[in-house]
Amino acid sequence: MGILFLWKRWTSQCDDRIAMFFSGNNIGAQGAAVLASALQRCSQLQSLELADNNIGAEGAAALARALQHCSQLQNLDLRENNTGAEGAAALAAALPHCSQLQYLYLTGNNIGAEGAAALAAALQHIFLIIFV
């Protein structure tokens, strides 16, 4: 509960943040949902690092809905979050809104062939992508 309280307070004034680094905090789906609500106000966000947080498919879906408001995002690190194919598909639906994306890290998410196919289709429309 402590980290969620701090996040709500810290992210409530998110308008001008360009980077957020929350890797390795085991926030889970609930923490991802709290962060997602703040991300909707972070239109200038360029880097979001949430590796190793165990957000699962539910957390990935919450983040995906919020990422549609992050058109300046260049770096997205969601390694080791066990999002599965369902979470990868949710993220794939949001990626076309992230037209500035250059780096996407999804290692250790067990996305399988179905998730990989959804991501590949979405990434076709992002011409700045350098690393997946």
Average pLDDT, the chain: 88
Say how far apart CA 126 and CA 80 lie, in whole Å: 23
Confidence at residue 82, expressed as pLDDT on a 0 to 100 scale: 97
Confidence at residue 95, expressed as pLDDT on a 0 to 100 scale: 93
Does the pLDDT value for residue 39 go beyond 60? yes
E strand map for the chain? 19-21, 47-49, 75-77, 103-105
Say how far apart CA 16 and CA 130 lie, in whole Å: 25
Confidence at residue 1, expressed as pLDDT on a 0 to 100 scale: 46
Say how far apart CA 25 and CA 15 lie, in whole Å: 23
What does pTM read for this prediction? Answer: 0.88
